[in-house]
Amino acid sequence: MDRITQIARKDMIDIALGGAFLGTGGGGDPYIGRLMAEQAITANRPVDVLAADQIDDDSLIVPVAMMGAPTVMLEKLPRGDEAIAALRALEAFLGRKASAIFCIEAGGLNSTIPIAVAAAAGLPIVDGDGMGRAFPELQMVSMTMYDVHACPMVMSDEKGNALVLNTVDNLSTEKFARVITVEMGGAGMIALYPMTGAEAKRAMLRDSLSLIATIGRVIRSEQAANRNPADRLAADLDGIRLFEGRVTDVERRTEGGFARGQAKIEGLNDDVDQTLTLKFQNEFLIAETSDGRPLAMTPDLICLLDLDTGQPITTEQMAYGYRVIVFGLPCDPKWRSEHGLELVGPQYFGYEHSYQPIETLTTNP
């Protein structure tokens, strides 16, 4: 993996592709964020990328993101200045300017909007994130494991509303902010988890942007060669092709600020006569066979690729008739700790399964 040191307009195609893949079906539509980042870079300048070790310990690092149900973004496009408004409001509250921008997750819209904000604000962005993938709730970040507080947090919407939250813990931040997001029309922009450089270096998952760009380059080069990128991604990332099939049913609803539901996939090729169910809450969380046996589960990554084009597919794009490859990846080791599984393991989401690593599930069926 080659580390990126600057993001120019031409790099956004690969970053959007890689972010959509690592987003495990969630994180928002990468195309919207890509356009915003391209416009901001063109209007300003390319964005410098800082490795973790380049951050000053006393600097202020601020993540920015979209919060809400990805399905809402299909109809409720951002005005464009909500995220920078959230950043400015947080800086005003703290009485201090940010030194760098940070991605709260590696996925879709939330791996591209921070680049747009960094370009507009004239700030560098850190090569890291708080998830190594996408998760649906605010407290589900590595910063929570290291006692970094989500608040003060600013939320802003396309109407110009902005408000500051201060809560007792990160789970409370999620609960209050989710209600406000619903009142904002199902989606809003946020700036939160203000950290010192020292805190960021301790808590972040490193080199996420470089990984996203690398994955995007692989997908694009394999597509150009008329090959599905799944085999190359499996070799490069220790990933696993879990299932191939056709989507035959999608049950999807926007509820409580999330896109929830499941999809049924009828097997093709080596998986003919088998059925797989994908269960999701913004992101794909469980891949389960017809007899209830899991093939992969959160916090490991479940990604969806178009069988014919190799294009990553998000939960809001998924539809009847799509021919897909279900692809699995091991998560960052931090998520397999006791604290990590309390935050993002299957039982937190109400599934009966106890967590088993994807490597175990696929080697010992």
Residue 16: which of 2, 3, 35 has the closest Cα? Answer: 35
pLDDT at residue number 253? 85
- Return residue ranges of the chain for CATH 3.40.1610.10: 6-208
Please give the mean pLDDT across all residues of the chain: 93
pLDDT at residue number 94? 97
The pTM of this model reads 0.93
For residue 125, pLDDT over 90 is answered with: yes
pLDDT at residue number 79? 64
For residue 42, pLDDT over 80 is answered with: yes
How far is it, in rounded angstroms, from Cα 300 to Cα 122?
35
For residue 186, pLDDT over 90 is answered with: no
- Return residue ranges of the chain for CATH 2.40.390.10: 229-363
How big is the CA angle at 17 (ends 246 and 214), to the nearest 5 degrees? 120
Question: Residues 154-183: what's their mean pLDDT?
Answer: 94
How far is it, in rounded angstroms, from Cα 104 to Cα 128?
9
CATH number of 6-208: 3.40.1610.10
For residue 210, pLDDT over 60 is answered with: yes
Question: Residues 47-67: what's their mean pLDDT?
Answer: 96
| Residue labelled with tokens 């009142």 | 183
Amino acid at the residue 212: I
How sure is the predictor about 282, in pLDDT bands with cuts at 50, 70 and 90?
A: confident
Domain 229-363 bears CATH identifier 2.40.390.10? yes
More confident residue, 80 or 40: 40
For residue 260, pLDDT over 90 is answered with: no
pLDDT at residue number 75? 63
How far is it, in rounded angstroms, from Cα 112 to Cα 36?
8
The phi, psi pair for 234, rounded to 5°, reads -60, -40
pLDDT at residue number 73? 62
pLDDT at residue number 45? 96
